[in-house]
Chain A
Amino acid sequence: MIKPERITTTTCPYCGVGCTLQLHVKDDFIYKVTSPFDSPVNHGNLCVKGRFGYDFIYHPKRVTAPLVRRYLLEGKPKPEGREQVFAVSKDGKSIEHSNISNDWDWVETDWDTALNVTADNLVKIYQRDGADAMAVYCCAKATNEDNYLLQKIFRALFRTNNVDHCTRLCHAGSVVALQQALGTSAMSNTASQVMLNDVFIVTGSNTGENHPIIALQMKEAVRKNGAKLIVIDPRRIDLVDFAELWLPLKPGTNVPVFSAMAHVIVNENLVNTDFIAKRTEGFNEYIESLEKFTPEYAEEISGVPAEDIRKAARLYAQANNAAIYWGMGISQLSHGTASALGLVNLALLTGHIGRDGTGLNPLRGQNNVQGASDMGAMPFFFPGYQRVDNEEHAMNWETLWNIPAGGLSRKLGLTTTEILSHAHEGGVRALYIMGENPMMSEPNLNETRRHMGQLEFLVSQDIFINESGAFADVFLPATPFAEKDGTFSNTDRRVQRVRTAQPPRGQSRPDWEILCDLALRIESKLGVDSSKWDYSNPEEILREMASLNKDYAGITYERIDKVGLIYPVPDENHPGTPTLFQDSFPRGRGKFISLDYVHVMEEPDDEYPFILTTGRVLEHWHGGTMTRNSALDEAYPEARAEMHPADADMHGITDGMPVRVSSRRGEVVLRATVTEKTTVGVVFIPFHFAEAAANLLTNDALDPQAKIPEFKACAVQVFPARESDLPNPEAMLERGRY
């Protein structure tokens, strides 16, 4: 029996639940993960990713030496276009590629060389083309400290607000909606408060697969507390087995369904008049807009029976404590903001917000997307959601970062998808990517590839060469969560410790150290005064950020040593704030916002008769950089397209048969899973598999306010294909839980 040399307590790097992990280490090898049963977040429960999915740390393909393309090292001009290269040249020998010039080879080098090449090229482009040419993707998986530093580099040194991260592709719609109506951008309550709900709505979230530990609490609330669950989702997710009501709406018809629920609540006098009078504004204009949203109107558009809409509305409105939990099905639409506002209106009508056991709860996906957003990794905000075009805020950050007055840009920057579409001569020339994979997660990947190819200089700071890093000019090997210190902020707004369990492998370095080293070199080349990069530990970085972001003011590593604190924590004696808005909203009163029904951008037609909706599966994570390099891939080795039996029968498609799914933008070949988990007319494909990338099909139509793409609805056609068309025909998904 093995005895551990040490057991390090840290926070899971996968999803926004933020479970507490205990890593058992011997000889710098994590051989087991457990979780304390008294953890307030997960009570000892973990999912397959948290408990077993850390092994990507040791995968042979992990890159632990800095890499630079041969053309750069040898001082040659950049070859035409941009070639994806995944393999690394050893000992200076060229890798044989079919038709790729050896100038594109990855060559191992030392940190000085790699960082100098990086700084040289970034500074060159900045001094030639200015701030608009610079852009950065921060990382919702990296720590708060890493993200704060990276946005500081690009704002303070390159004076640009072209700073963004993958939340743009995720909850941007929800965040903009919450900002507009309430002035906030996070869950209002905590996930564990589901135990206090007597009614709760889960919509656009396959919680059982994407926030498994929150789903466990939801199931417990139903089975042990008698809570009533309403699921509003186009797919028959496993939570439907626990639901009182399932409203299977057509993808993209959220606004009519939520507005019809509001219509019922108003017309049947189920509104909370006291709450509306004291805590809201705009009610009278709003109810006029509800007139046309009868349940029958919503049924016609969405396919949900009118009577079920009425039942759902009554159940929610008449509950003592009701909450709404939502996910990507709400936000990832070209009207994602309106979609989320539909939910906000329901909470304001009924007063189910501002008390324990209620709330508006967008379930944040990544382990630190809440934190990355809080750290200002966004084009419109400094840390703490302080607008970049607000003079007072800009001046405060200028003082903190030692920049001359007026130095920081007051111009709103570009979002992730916009950064790519501006990658051309005269637009964005340099892109720095920390721990993201736009070549798997952006919509319309053929276009994304074209844009990536037009960048002049691309840096990837990551742990593997993924589909995006394979395009880069410089690869800087960073450390995963188990080899660095810092903090993550989970979806509950709980700030928790991340701890080093083993030393960095090879020559990899913690992200914050790489960034400080890089920043000093950039400053030296620019010849400017220092903005401070000589931190002795990550806590100093957090404290610097907290000096201007009052939500984090009372958070110290000592205070969160055993249990994380839920921000806002305004001072060092404050215990944290699980339930928000008990007295008022950040903007004062909550605002009712009238909505209209807007079609999805690409409806099905004769040529492309199915609606494609995309999403995730339990065993994998997003672009697959981690999970496809883990034993998790063995558990779920191939992409599958889900079709309803009625659709499959009509097209002669059987379970396991290869099919070609095509849209106006691209096509993929993968096996079909015939299942009633999806609804008639809807095809579901997870987006994790590079060999059958769902985002080749998706539509890059953006929500005008949030700039989030419409991942959840586009039009596709499905035809049977041949075994020989499959990218990996021998892979086999065993069928137990499917």
Chain B
Amino acid sequence: MAETLTLTIDGKETTAEQGKTLLDVAREVGADVPTICYHDATTANGLCRMCVVEVEGSRVLQPACVVQAGAGMKVHTRSDKVVRSRKTILEMLDSTMDLSEADEIQTMMKDYDADPNRFPDAERRQSEVKDDNPMYVRDYSKCLLCWRCVQVCADDAQYTYAINFEGRGYETQIGTFFDKSIPETTCVLCGQCVGVCPTGALKPKREYLLEQGMSPNEISVLNTGRKRRREK
């Protein structure tokens, strides 16, 4: 039996098992803490900072997905500071990348009254759609670098290590080693990355082609002839 400790969430005292994160405890008591990069099937990294909560006495806001619950903590999941922080993150994200297909984030933007025009001069990330394998397409103009795809390709699920971060700072992007096309990497086309992408940056090819206006019949015929040909 794990040891337990007591802490306060939004004014209500609760007990928690030692080792649980503030996000775990918040969920147990029904407090709504939004997350973007966090996923049940991947290791938490505290990248997006949407899950920040205010812990009395702490200098900065605490990312609930990685901070462990501590005895006697007084946690506020929706204080003014928290709301302002989350709102700004959403506004920055929305000014930078195409979030039109990220339903959950769209809901959050409404919930936090995020103003999509707050940063009118922001530079948007542009990327052409990478269509280099038979199974899925990559549109990094929608990517918000939540890291989930890299993680499930690595130790969180597949142990295949086909994709990772490339570049630095603002130029950071997800890519393959030496920018090789997907079939030339160790990728086994399992699509775990597609399965965890929150924004539609990674999408099954058939879904993409349908959205582009191809008919189901046309898409089905596509499979019959399009094979990479050897140069003579």
A residues at B contact (CB < 8 Å): 1-2, 24, 26-27, 29-35, 37, 43-48, 51-52, 55, 58-61, 212, 216, 219, 223, 242, 618-619, 629-635, 637, 729-732, 734-737
Q: Given A31-B207, A634-B228, verify A219-B135 contact (CB < 8 Å).
A: no
Task: Produce 1/0 per residue, B145-177, CB < 8 A to A.
Answer: 000000000010111101000000000000000
Task: Give the residue of B223, B226, B230 whose beta carbon is less than 8 angstroms from that of A731.
Answer: B230
- List chain A residues, Cβ under 8 A from B226: 634
Q: Which of B157, B180, B189, B232 contacts A45 (CB 8 A)?
A: B157
Per-residue A-contact encoding for B168-195, CB less than 8 Å = 1, 0 else: 0000000000001111111111111011
Task: Say whether A52 contacts B186, CB under 8 Å.
Answer: no
B216-A27 in contact (CB<8A): yes
Cβ contacts B100-122/A at 8 Å (1 or 0 each)? 11000000000000000000000
Q: List 22 A-B contacts (CB under 8 A).
A: A1-B101, A2-B210, A31-B206, A31-B210, A47-B188, A48-B190, A52-B135, A52-B191, A55-B220, A212-B190, A216-B158, A223-B155, A242-B159, A634-B134, A732-B230, A734-B181, A734-B183, A734-B184, A734-B228, A735-B184, A736-B184, A736-B187
Distance to closest chain B CB from A672 (angstroms):
15
* A32 cross-chain contacts in B, Cβ below 8 A: 204, 206-207
Measured CA separation A616–B195 after assembly (Å)? 26
Q: Is A1 a contact partner of B211 (Cβ separation < 8 A)? A: yes
Q: How far is the CB of B46 from chain A (nearest CB, A)?
A: 20
| A46 and B220 form a contact (CB under 8 A) | no
Q: Tell me whether A634 and B227 are in contact (CB under 8 A).
A: yes
Chain A residues near B63 (CB, 8 Å)? none
* Complex contacts, B184 vs chain A, CB 8 Å: 734-736
A360 to B191, CA, bound (A): 31
State A605–B190 Cα separation when bound (angstroms): 41
Per the bound structure, the CA–CA distance linking A219 and B191 in Å amounts to 18
Residue of B nearest to A59 (CB): B220
Expressed in whole angstroms, the Cα–Cα distance for A34 and B203 within the complex equals 11
Residues B192-225 near A (CB distance < 8 A): 192, 194-195, 200, 204-207, 210-211, 216-217, 219-221, 223-224
Candidates A31, A46, A47, A59; contact of B223 at CB < 8 Å: A59
- On chain B, the residues within 8 Å of A34 by CB distance are 195
Contacts of B158 in A (CB 8 A): 45, 216
Name which of B181, B200, B224 has the most chain A CB atoms within 10 A of its CB: B224
- With both chains docked as a complex, state the minimum distance between the C-beta of A28 and any C-beta of chain B, in angstroms: 8
Interface residues of B in 36-51 (CB under 8 A from A): 40-41
A44-B195, A48-B135 as given contacts; A730 in contact with B190, CB under 8 Å:
no
Would you call B41 and A216 a contact (CB within 8 A)? no
Please name all residues of chain B whose beta carbon is closer than 8 Å to the beta carbon of A24 when the two chains form the complex.
Answer: 207
Q: How far is the CA of A184 from the CA of B63 in the complex (A)?
A: 53
Q: Is B133 an interface position by the 8 A CB rule?
A: yes
Chain B proximity of A666: nearest CB distance (Å): 26
**Residues from chain B with Cβ under 8 Å of A27 in the complex:** 216
> Which residues of A are found within 8 Å of B189, using beta-carbon distances?
48, 52, 619, 635
Interface size class of B (residues with CB under 8 A): 35 or more
Q: If A46-B191, A637-B228 touch, does A223 touch B220 (CB 8 Å cutoff)?
A: no
| Docked CA distance A634–B191 (Å) | 16
- The CA of A732 and the CA of B223, in the complex, are separated in Å by 15
Rounded to whole angstroms, the CA-CA distance of A153 and B188 in the bound complex is 42
Chain A residue contacts of B183, Cβ below 8 A = 635, 734, 736
Q: How far is the CB of B37 from chain A (nearest CB, A)?
A: 16
Q: Contacts of B41 on A, CB cut-off 8 Å?
A: 37, 43-44
B12 at the interface (CB under 8 A from A): no
Add 14 more A-B contacts to A44-B195, A60-B221, A634-B227 (CB < 8 A): A29-B210, A32-B207, A43-B41, A51-B190, A51-B195, A618-B188, A630-B223, A633-B227, A634-B134, A635-B183, A732-B229, A734-B181, A736-B182, A737-B187
* Contacting residues, chain A, for B181 (C-beta < 8 A): 734
**How many Å lie between the Cα of A736 and that of B187 in the bound state?**
7
* Pair A216/B191 contact, Cβ less than 8 Å: no
Evaluate contact between B230 and A729: CB separation under 8 angstroms. yes
Give A27's nearest chain B residue, CB to CB.
B216
* Contact between A2 and B228, CB atoms less than 8 A apart: no
Residues of A contacting B185 in the complex (Cβ-Cβ under 8 angstroms): 736-737
Residue of A nearest to B102 (CB): A1
Alpha-carbon separation in the docked complex, A67 to B212 (Å)? 36
B180 partner residues in chain A, CB cutoff 8 A: 736
* 8 closest cross-chain pairs (CB), A and B: A734-B183, A48-B189, A58-B220, A634-B134, A51-B191, A732-B230, A29-B216, A631-B134
Distance to closest chain A CB from B208 (angstroms): 9
Instruction: Give min CB distance, A243 to chain B, whole Å.
Output: 13
Interchain CA distance A589-B159 in the complex, whole Å: 41
Contact, CB under 8 Å: A631 / B135: yes
| B12-69 CB contacts (< 8 Å) to partner A | 40-41
* A216, B188: Cβ atoms closer than 8 Å: no
A35 to B220, CA, bound (A): 23
A558 → B minimal CB distance (Å): 28
Residue in B181, B226, B227, B232 whose Cβ sees the most chain A Cβ within 10 Å:
B227
Tell whether A33 pairs with B228 under 8 Å between CB atoms, given A1-B100, A630-B223, A635-B135: no
Do A33 and B204 have beta carbons less than 8 Å apart?
yes
- A45 touching B192, Cβ below 8 Å: yes
Chain B residue numbers with a CB within 8 Å of A619 are 189
Query: Cα distance A61–B207 when bound, in Å?
Result: 22
Given contacts A1-B100, A31-B206, A45-B157, contact A59 B224 (CB under 8 A): yes
Which residues on the A side are within 8 Å of B187 (C-beta)? 736-737
Contacts of A618 in B (CB 8 A): 188
B58 to chain A, nearest CB (A): 31
- Nearest-CB distance from B172 to chain A (Å)? 24
Chain B neighbourhood of A735, CB < 8 A: 184
Which A-chain residue is minimally distant from B224 (CB atoms)?
A60
Q: Is the CB of B229 within 8 A of A45?
A: no
Contact status A2-B211, CB under 8 Å: yes
With A2-B211, A37-B41, A48-B188 in contact, do A730 and B230 touch (Cβ < 8 Å)? yes
Contact partner of A730 (CB less than 8 A), chosen from B136, B155, B160, B229, is: B229
* Shortest Cβ distance from residue A629 to the other chain B in the assembled complex, whole angstroms: 8
- B150 CB → nearest A CB, Å: 16
In the complex, the chain A residue whose C-beta lies closest to that of B176 is A736
CB <8 Å contact, A216 and B195: no
Q: How far is the CB of B152 from chain A (nearest CB, A)?
A: 8
Q: Which residue of B lies closest to A738 (CB)?
A: B186
On whether the beta carbons of A46 and B133 are closer than 8 Å, the reply is: no
Smallest CB-CB separation from A734: which chain B residue?
Answer: B183
Q: Across the interface, do A31 and B204 meet the contact criterion of CB distance under 8 Å?
A: yes
User: Within 8 Å CB of B230, what residues of A?
Assistant: 729-732
Q: Could you tell me the distance in whole angstroms from the C-beta of A711 to the nearest C-beta in chain B?
A: 25
When distances are taken between beta carbons in the complex, the residues of chain A under 8 Å from B223 are: 55, 59, 629-631, 633-634
When chains A and B are docked, how far (Å) is the Cα of A202 from the Cα of B131?
A: 37
Q: Which residue of A lies closest to B196 (CB)?
A: A44
Residue pair A35, B216 in contact (C-beta under 8 Å): no
Min CB gap A640→B, angstroms: 13
Q: How far is the CA of A718 from the CA of B15 in the complex (A)?
A: 70
Question: How close is B109's CB to chain A, nearest CB, in angstroms?
Answer: 16
Question: Distance in Å from the Cβ of A278 to the closest Cβ of chain B?
Answer: 34
**A47–B216 touching, CB < 8 Å:** no
Chain A residue numbers with a CB within 8 Å of B159 are: 216, 219, 223, 242
A734 vs chain B, min Cβ distance (A): 4
Q: Which of A37, A52, A632, A731 has the most CB of B within 10 A?
A: A52
How far is B211's CA from A24's CA once the two chains are assembled, in angstroms?
Answer: 14
Q: How far is the CA of A416 from the CA of B226 in the complex (A)?
A: 37
Provide the bound-state CA to CA distance between A32 and B205, in Å: 9
Bound-state CA distance A730–B227 (Å) is 9
Given A618-B188, A729-B230, A736-B186; A2-B216 close (CB under 8 Å) = no
Determine the distance from Cα of A223 to Cα of B43 in the docked complex, in whole angstroms. 15
Measured between C-beta atoms, what is the minimum distance from B156 to chain A in Å? 9
Least Cβ distance of B139 to chain A in Å?
A: 12
For B40, the chain A residues whose CB sits under 8 A away are 37
Q: Of B134, B188, B210, B220, which is within 8 A of A60 by CB?
A: B220
